[in-house]
Structure 1
Amino acid sequence: MNAAAPAPRMKLLLATILVLNFIEFLQTGMMSFGASAIQGQVNASPEEYSIVTAAYAAVAIAVIANMRWFIERLGWRKFIHGSIVIYIAGAVICALSETFPQFLLGRLVMALGGGAFMTSARMLVNVIPPTPARMKGILAFVTGLTIANAAGAWTVAELFEADWFAGIFIVLITLALLAALLAAFGAPDEPLPESEHSASHFGPLLAVAAGSFLLLFAFQRALYDFYSSLPYLLVLGAAGLAAVLWFVRHQHDSERPLLMLKRLVQKRYLAALGVFTLAYVVLGANNVMLPSLMQRAMGFSWHSAGMVQSIGLTSAFFIFIVKIRILKVSPAPQKFYAASFAFLAISGWLLSGLTTEASLWRNVLPAIAFFGMFVVVVQATTAIHGFAELAHDEVAFMHGQQVKNMLVQFGSALGIVGATLLQQWRTAEHLSVLNQRFATGDPELGHLLEQLTGAFSASQGAQAGAVALGQLAQLLNQQAALLSQLEYFHMLALMSAVMAVVMYFQRTITLFKPA
């Protein structure tokens, strides 16, 4: 299954790895940064959009769990081509969608086809023999990740500036067709002998997909209906957890499992899963919070916010090059873990002190750059050290990647859902306080209303009061949104600073020990 690719096909294989991973992170960036505009396009509320995120993650988790089963029977090339056909079909549905149900259907079909793109890209690296040449595959993988993560915000901002919603999916379809062309000449195409095939597990796959969705849905509803629907939410959460645990138990006990979990019970690997999941929860949450901060709370345009976020996230590529150079002379992971969480703490601290008068370029751009550095340093360090005990077992390594990316999908969706609903909740709370101050005759707000009325009286005449009141309401909404953002980034800075200190002084963590 992992036979070496002939030398003439190596560049095409590397390009396939890069493009598949590029698609995964570009679509994630576009769906997160463009969330509010997409909601308006398909008439979806933030709550409904978070359901799309949860449903996509649940389907992707099942697809990742089952991908080796398909590759064993089809080979890499046919598997990639089949996935791309389904992915394009889903993208077409999304491009033509005008309602929430249509968009949800399209995203589910896209998940069926593209849910395993990142896992496929990573495992294609192992097609390259375990020589220094394999580093080229790692570089292709990371290049696709870092560039796409940076490009997502700018791309979707430009498309919505041009009022071209379907353009999001036209871009993804074009890239998918490119990946199919590259895979036709660069990916291996040898299925495994029937004696090495794993068994089909349709029931367990449904269980892990349904369980993942129920867990995310229960979390989503808890932020809306915690007090009024607590028993209902507990039942949903318990049912989801039971379904996932049954899948784990079934795979652990099966003689021909989809995922050989027994081989993955390694302390180093299990610790890596926790770090990866945490990193992707933060990535998902920040992908929601950053555009909201720049657009809704600070009042900047789509174009400006997208450009600043994309430029800031290019720091990930450059810090990865620096990390590779340091790694050659000092491979110990402790300093990288401490530095990554220090980067995140600095990012959160810079953003937690913003005001509505802050500059995107002077105040926000450096914070986003530090966030980009956190993402790539923590992921690269964990990928190198977390899989060290599985490196010489091809099957265990692939299954480890599958399980890791299943948790990545769950963690990213959890971050997006949590941030979306946390933001909505805290903004409403702050707005309620501000409105109460206005209703009870707060002299500062009353004075501001008088000033606005006077400013509009010359141009609006008798309507000056109503226009001033509308302007004040807009200012109060902006202030409430900003306060909710600052709360989140204060919390992020504190958590990250604690993690940086723990990582620096803790010498007993499994990931710090030599393999």
Structure 2
Amino acid sequence: MYRKNAALLITVGLLCALEYLQAGMIAFASAPIRGEIDASPEEFTLITALYACIAVVVISKQRWLVERLGWRNFMLGSISIFVVGALVCGMSDDLTTFTVGRVIMALGGASFMTSARLMVNFLPPGPGRFIGVKVFATGLAIGTASAPFISSMVVIEDTWHAIFWVLITGALVAGLLGMRFLPSAPAPIDDRTPSTPANILLLSVSSFFLLYVMQRSYYDFYNETFILIAFSLLAALGLYIFFHAEHRKDAPFLKVRDLMQPRYLLGVALFCFTYVVLGANNYMLPYFLQTGLGYSWDTIGTFQAFGLGGALVTWLVMAMLIPKFPAPKKFFLVGFGALTGFGWLMSSITTDANMWSNILPALFLNGCFVMLVLATAAMQTFRDVTHHDTLFAHAYQIKSMLGQIAMAMGTALATLFLQWRTTLQYNNLNGHFSAGDPVYLEQSQHLAQALTPQVGAAAANQISLSMLTQSLHQQSTLVASMEYFWFVIVVAVVALGVSAAQKTFR
């Protein structure tokens, strides 16, 4: 029994870590990967939308498949498909092959985190199950913190394919361990949840269009605003119709009606809010550190890993405090306080900021926020539905499905905000970029004089103009990023107030 429980706990941690590793590594290394497979940003956007769309559908079918295949066959099949997809990606050198690999990876691996959390319920209620929850959260923290570090290292070594060898190794270990404890029997026919192809098709089409439109908004929003908003609303309507239809059914695919409880609804809203912020910050931080402050790729990856290590440290402290002081409100308040501190520190950074003393503390607070809010929400949201395995599974599936959409929404919102504010600040600063501006004349003449002895007068004038243009772009990015972090402060303070006032999570 001890060996089975140990295998279960290691598998839970591995599967959760793999989910955050694959998402984090590919997102962080997206620009180098695009260059290697000769893909435009728009083409890579399609891959991302496809993966997220397939993830939503696969997560929705997780319980349905387990009931018919049994846990062992389902997990071994999922891991095998994921490994095949990772192999295809790992051997790819063009857009088509990489896209096929990512689609196969989504079919196999999209439900890893959901399955890992449901496996925790194989443990009996009590201290043993809480250990399972702790291992699950530890896997989340390790995967989140490791992703930028590993991806930056393999990119620097010019071996981006190694990202997929890491994923394959972890998946194979999880599969071998799973064979020791996963039950093989399918659920009795009378206990199986039904599914209708029409509703799954509606979910697939709606989620794809919503995710794809959000991804396309990075490039086309200001040129095709009306079309993108119209398609977003139509896709959102499709998702609403899907959930509304499930709510009305007597024998639903997902037990939406039974989940209409204040604790669950507030918890899912909290998850979605946190995923939106997480998606936005994950996009902003590397861009700000590289474009605004000029740090190298490997430096950014290493320090982001150090900062997100704050999630692991925070969870270790939480794991000691929760048994003695289980009330959740204080964790939410501290979490949103950490987000406020993160925004405050980042909003005051200048171009001569020190990575250790100025930036790392802010990144650490961001990691603290992620774990304080997500881990506490995970323990509180599902408290009223754990008595029924199917209901709990459906509750977690819906949360994970909405989480995929919320992360994409956060990235889209951050991108649009940055484009808007950078363009505005660039235009404001560009007003001084003329021969009649005394500051511009002084700077250009100073640079030209310094460069003339090395390159000659004509080349010196061209280089000085290029350097000032680059500085203009950097300054506009820096100011726009400061505005973003001030917006984060406002959002965090509002969330802090709502957390203090709400009475569901006391």
Check whether TM > 0.5: yes
Residue 483 (structure 2) aligns with: 487
Q: Which stretch has the larger CA shift, 426-435 or 13-22?
A: 426-435
Distance apart, 1:154 and its partner CA: 0.6
| Residue matched to 2:51 | 56
**What 5-or-longer segments of structure 1 have no aligned partner?**
1-5
Counterparts of 1:476 and 1:177 in 2: how far apart (Å)?
A: 49
Q: Secondary structure at the match of 2:432?
A: helix
Instruction: Describe the superposition over 1:388-445 as per-residue Cα deviations: whole angstroms up to 9, x where unpaired.
Output: 2112122111110111111111111211233234334433433343334314643222
Alpha-carbon contact 1:26-1:151 (below 8 Å) kept: yes
Is residue 94 from structure 1 mapped to residue 89 from structure 2 by the alignment? yes
When structure 1 is superposed on structure 2, of 193-202 and 157-166 the one drifting more is 193-202
Instruction: Provide, for residues 39-72 of structure 1, a one-character-per-residue CA deviation record: whole Å limited to 9, x for no partner.
Output: 3333444444344333322110110000111111
The question of whether the paired residues in 2 share the 8 Å contact of 1:430 and 1:480 is answered with: yes
Q: Comparing 272-281 with 487-496, which one deviates more in the overlay?
A: 487-496
Who is 1:500 aligned against? Answer: 496
Q: In the aligned structure 2, how far is the partner of 1:240 from the partner of 1:189?
A: 38
| d(CA) in 2 for partners of 1:179, 1:329 | 33
2:503 aligns with one of 480, 485, 509: 509
Aligned to 1:198: 193
Q: What is the match of residue 331 of structure 1?
A: 326
Which of 420, 426, 431 matches 1:431?
426
Q: Higher mean Cα deviation, 74-83 or 442-451?
A: 442-451
Of the three residues 468, 472, 482, the one matched with 1:472 is: 468
Letter in 2 for 1:179: A
Contact 2:218–2:412, Cα closer than 8 Å, also in 1: no
CA distance in 2, matches of 1:419, 1:444: 32
**Partners of 1:269 and 1:495 in 2: CA distance:** 22
Contact 1:284 1:413 in 2 (8 A): yes
Identical-residue share of aligned pairs (%): 39
1:320: which partner in 2? 315
- Shift in alpha-carbon separation, 1:297–1:44, aligned structure 2, 3 A: farther
User: Shift in Å at residue 231 of structure 1?
Assistant: 4.1
Q: Do residues 344 (structure 1) and 317 (structure 2) align? A: no
Assess, with a 3 A threshold, how the Cα gap between structure 1 residues 62 and 134 changes in structure 2: closer, same or farther. Answer: same
Cα distance in 1, alignment partners of residues 222 and 419 from structure 2:
17
Aligned to 1:3: none
In structure 2, the residue matched to 1:360 is 355
CA distance in 1, matches of 2:413, 2:259: 29
- CA distance in structure 1 between the partners assigned to 2:260 and 2:4 by the alignment: 36
**Which stretch has the larger CA shift, 340-349 or 123-132?**
123-132
1:462-499 per-residue CA deviation (whole Å, 9 max, x = no partner) reads 42222222222222222222222212111001210222
Report the residue type matching 1:265 in the other structure: M
Match of 2:301 among 293, 303, 306: 306
CA contact (8 A) 1:50 1:416 kept: no
Q: Distance in 1 between matches of 2:446 and 2:214?
A: 44
Amino acid at match of 1:41: E
Paired residues in the alignment total 505
Q: Deviations over 1:66-119 (max 9, x none)?
A: 011111111112111111222222223333444444433332222111111110
User: Where does the alignment leave 5 or more consecutive residues of structure 2 unmatched?
Assistant: none
- Seen in structure 2, the aligned counterparts of structure 1 residues 30 and 502 have a Cα distance that, compared at 3 Å, is same
Code of the aligned partner of 2:358: N
Counterpart of 1:146 in structure 2: which amino acid?
A: A
Q: TM-score, normalised by structure 1?
A: 0.93
Rounded Cα–Cα distance in structure 2 between residues aligned with 1:485 and 1:260: 42
Quick check: 2:82–2:109 contact (8 Å CA) kept in 1? yes
In the alignment, does 2:146 pair up with 1:151?
A: yes
Secondary structure at the counterpart of residue 188 of structure 1:
coil
Code of the aligned partner of 1:450:
Q
Which shows bigger deviation, 118-127 or 474-483? 474-483
Contact 1:349-1:489 within 8 A present in 2 as well: yes
Q: SS of the residue aligned with 2:332?
A: helix
Cα distance in 2, alignment partners of residues 480 and 185 from structure 1: 56
Provide the TM-score with structure 2 as the length reference. Answer: 0.94
